[in-house]
């Protein structure tokens, strides 16, 4: 499973994300693989995404983040609303999301 942020993938002012069921594990969507696009609620955005890799989270069948050549997976996302109030969401190497 690959979750990518932005369309095309990006690291700031993100209002959508995709969920790709990567059945063959090649990180490329084939026509036979399911992909869903989700939009964040109106007025909400990811103002900054700092992940490894840069713009996505890759999970194995057990729900754990996959190790990448770039290093330990996980990172930080900052959510903002219309009033620019922010909240930080951390993603651990185990795939757990939490507030610092």
Beta bridge partners of 56: 4
pLDDT of residue 97: 85
How much is the mean pLDDT over the chain?
A: 86
| Residue 75 pLDDT | 87
Element at 45 (helix H, strand E): strand 45-52
Q: Whose CA is closest to 79, among 66, 91, 93, 71?
A: 91
- pLDDT value of residue 15: 93
- Domain total for the chain? 1
Band the pLDDT of 95: cuts 50, 70, 90: confident
DSSP assignment string, 79-93: EE-TT--EEEEEE-T
pLDDT tens digit sequence for 29-85: 899 999 999 999 999 999 988 887 777 888 887 878 887 656 667 889 999 999 999
Structural domain span for residue 39 = 2-98
């Amino acid at each position: 499973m690959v979750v990518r942020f932005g369309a095309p993938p990006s690291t700031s002012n993100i209002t959508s994300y995709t969920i790709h069921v990567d059945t063959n594990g090649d990180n490329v969507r084939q026509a036979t693989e399911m992909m869903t696009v989700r939009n964040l609620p109106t007025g909400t955005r990811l103002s900054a995404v700092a992940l490894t890799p840069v713009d996505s989270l890759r999970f194995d069948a057990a729900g754990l983040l996959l190790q990448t050549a770039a290093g330990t997976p996980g990172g930080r996302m900052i959510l903002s609303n219309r009033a620019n109030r922010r909240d930080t969401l951390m993603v651990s190497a185990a795939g757990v999301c939490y507030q610092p």
